[in-house]
Chains A and B, each alone.
Chain A
């Protein structure tokens, strides 16, 4: 909200610079974002009185003027033909600055000394609304008398400063000049005042001109109207236009300007209807009827629904209550009589309608926050007063006031020491009541109790905590001491799950993987991109109002996220890339969603590059399994996934239940994502693994007796899996078989077609004795027999 300092000074004394004021108010709750100096680009331009105009001796089109600039008379050469002796004009003196960074210096024009420049409206960047005639060609001729030498910004009221405040949604009262005057007064210890409203008697009686009926007082607790006749639509006076422009509102005409002026000054939105266009000369505040429409002032047709509140005449809606007027009752150049509306509408209702129609206005954003039921009355009278001051029309005597709610101030009684307790302060009852009184509350103290009568513009004050905030901000947050709470010592520890994730991340980074963090919403097209057929698309949680289709579903798999990251790096010629991410995926329990979806913590992994293959990723998963104490529960078995290579994909089973997948990507996936064909991916249900994880460890005695190592090489059919062989070896070896290591797989010459040679190193050991050769031989032979019998293995 833009607060013109010159305007607020009408209602409160300001005895500090705007910068100091901005800082002060920031620390009392009105956050000042910027101090703006109006017309900062103009300096040292003054009012000059032209004493004489002579032709230039060397140029037909130039004139030489003698100009009284207050302190002296200077000579100025000008090219404009509209100057004459006796006129008052703006003069840019030597060393002056004009908008656009132009500096004026004395010099010679065609040999004649010129000590400055006479200015046009354009050169001062003035519009007709700033000063009549400012957009006309030639030097700006001032219409009124100003003493020569007076600063032009002061003379034309062009300057001044404006503070841009960020007003929080709980303080709609501060979205006004008088509201800020009150804040300034409380913050600086000055007094403030409201505009004094005095009306001359009007003509006739409003009862003969207009009727008002409110059908829904819940949504419109108060509706006030005044009527003005003999309207003369014309520009409003310069002081009013200046204030409006400084506050960021474009001046239009006297009637519209009055409504805006009152809104900015008092915080109460106003509307003016052309009374001749109000059918039946009756205003009805009611809900819209099914199928009704209204063309609003922005020339858009709005389709209304019965939950929306409208202002109607006897035939049709003529305004959207609290949001925007209708074109059918708009003020025009022909308007002869008007109705001023000043009302209170329910904030939630205004907000709902405004959201539904996608139509927000200065008025709606104020009503949404909840306004003052009493200010509506002040505002309609203030508008009437301005009509009389401006001579904009003839006021009809009286006002209509349909009141459906109390205008009484609320009372709040608290134990005032509670404020000290909450704030860690030691204020006296006098100090507290002093601050609250300055803010417009009426305070009485009775021992430990304090009763506050809350003005109707402070609907935000509901309880002790609200009063405490008022006290704290005016007393100064910076004066609240720094303390550290006492009380029971709490432990402060990560949970088991948090600790496990911490150690998993440490292990993964230790194995050379970088942690990625990607978005958890994604495109519905990812399924197609990873080769899943439309019939197999999983149920997904959809965002109703996504930023775009690409970010419209919550991911159910992290494989696409991994692929995108790998592709990003691959396309930047990064040779090796190994990444992981730990985040949830979102699985709906049922659709449409009636319960929150399952958020399944997932570990996704992906890598490509030199020395990367299926087994490098599998190895990392195995290390992780061992870290979590799950090595004995996990098995791998061949599996298929559309995104992955059909012969190089494994499912990860925990106690027989699938909990993840690893594999090299399918060539089509590599193509779709433009990434390395050797990329390997993995996705594991980390939640399931954490649930089963066992990180308790017991010391195992180091072996005291030597191990006996035997190698074993044999030929089996190519499709025999290492897991099967390992199983048989363990079975045959029995309890003395300590360790089985596969150290070579060979196919090629000397091996029959369709077969492979597998070489293992077996280590035998007993805890309690040195093994004898015969024992080892026996076990070893059992293994050989089993392999021959079960797999047709041929010993090499």
Chain B
């Protein structure tokens, strides 16, 4: 009997080693340890043993059962691991195949640039003011010290609706509207769409976009104008950017300046973008003309201010290296997707 048991154990252990899948293993468990299994059958034959041998054999049989069950458990784990590993291996994919991209729309580069510029000025405490694109001649010109038949009107070829109404040539009328309804301190930027009757080419568009700024308060100086625009230029074009203020003339500011920034492409060395000068003109600016303040009911003896203006399209093109303004209005998806 003892031999028989030992033999069963030995045989079972060997058989188990040879098994490779979980189904076979289950079949083997039933065959070996189940109710009609070999071991059970042997134990049923215990009755024929002499009583003194029974506890010994019984204990042996239980030890063998325990050993087999333990081995079986271990084998089960092993086979499960192997099966999982096999499955995972089969499930392996080519991770270099391109991903499934959801469609992400893009903001127009002008909007993207505008948001960036607005953030800079919001950070410096400016509000954002808006106004109509179809404007009174008086707000677009006369309030800005450009009377009828003034030569300065030549610089801004104007689309007229009638004698009194026109398509605004700059966002300055928004400054006028703001000063007419709000007492200083005033600190605004005026972004928006403007119109000038220029034929379309790579650098001209009859519709383009401006951002102007206006600060009116007591004791505002030309130093403040230089300071604010210097901060602005550094934020847009990088900390190493320099600004250069050149005297100029605008009817609505006195003194007036044109502002160049050092070319960000060549860092002032001279390149194609800056026409080999090292500088790029991006802004017009100046101290608000006393007549403009007066028109708006602000006493120029008490208050002073500065104003500046720049072309959003031009700055966008500079920033992104776009060489043709027409691209901005063509809305080719392949263009829009790049930003």
Contact = CB atoms under 8 A, between A and B. Distances in A.
Do A and B make up one complex? yes
A516 B149 contact: no
Interface string A510-541: 11111111111100000000000000000001
Given A473-B247, A514-B337, A424 B110 contact: no
A633 to B, nearest CB: 26
**Interface residues of A toward B: which range?**
35 or more
A382 interface: no
A422 B221 contact: yes
Contacts of B162: 544, 592-593
A599 B329 contact: no
A200 interface: no
A514 B333 contact: yes
Interface string B300-338: 000010000000000000000000000011111110110
A468 interface: yes
A319 interface: no
A400 B275 CA distance: 52
A171 interface: yes
Q: Which of A423, A464, A469, A586 neighbours the largest number of chain B CB atoms within 10 Å of its CB?
A: A469
A572 B332 contact: yes
Contact of A465 (B121, B133, B290, B334): B290
Interface stretch (A279-287, A437-445, A488-496): A488-496
A512 B127 contact: no
A543 B105 contact: no
Contacts of B147: 348
A351 B146 CA distance: 14
Contact of B187 (A490, A545, A599): A490
A465 B155 CA distance: 23
Contacts, number: 247
Contact of B111 (A505, A596, A599): A505
B254 A515 contact: no
A480 to B, nearest CB: 5
B249 interface: yes
A634 interface: no
Interface in B235-283: 244-249, 251, 254-258
Interface in B200-257: 206-207, 215, 217-224, 226-228, 230-231, 244-249, 251, 254-257
Contacts of A478: 244-245
B103 A512 contact: yes
Interface residues of B, number: 85
A644 B333 CA distance: 24
B295 interface: no
A181 B223 CA distance: 30
A42 interface: no
Given A478-B245, A599-B133, A368 B108 contact: no
A545 B197 contact: yes
A374 interface: no
Given A472-B255, A513-B105, A348 B336 contact: no
Given A29-B247, A546-B159, A547-B199, A422 B287 contact: yes
B28 interface: no
Interface in A427-461: none
Given A352-B149, A424-B222, A520-B133, A489 B125 contact: yes
B134 A554 contact: yes
A484 to B, nearest CB: 4
Contacts of A584: 133
B105 A170 contact: no
**Which DSSP category, helix, strand, loop or mixed, fits chain B's interface?**
mixed
A31 B247 CA distance: 8
A216 interface: no
A541 to B, nearest CB: 6
Given A422-B221, A465-B289, A584-B133, A31 B248 contact: yes
Contacts of A568: 330-332
A480 B225 CA distance: 10
A513 B331 CA distance: 12
Interface in A478-505: 478, 480-495, 498, 502, 505
Contacts of A423: 221-223, 255
A480 B334 contact: no
A160 interface: no
A579 interface: yes
A577 interface: yes
B132 interface: yes
Contact of B108 (A472, A483, A511, A517): A517
Contacts of B148: 348
A171 to B, nearest CB: 7
A282 B221 CA distance: 56
Contacts of A485: 215, 217, 219-221, 224, 227-228
9 contacts: A469-B254, A472-B255, A484-B228, A485-B220, A490-B185, A491-B125, A513-B105, A519-B206, A592-B162
CB-CB nearest 7 A-B residue pairs: A424-B223, A512-B103, A168-B249, A469-B255, A29-B247, A509-B105, A483-B223
Given A424-B223, A465-B255, A487-B219, 7 more contacts: A29-B248, A481-B223, A485-B219, A486-B219, A513-B105, A544-B161, A596-B165
Interface of A: 26-29, 31, 168-171, 347-349, 351-352, 355, 365, 368-369, 421-424, 463-466, 468-469, 472-473, 477-478, 480-495, 498, 502, 505, 508-521, 541-547, 551, 554, 565, 568-569, 572, 574, 576-580, 583-584, 586, 592-593, 596-597, 599
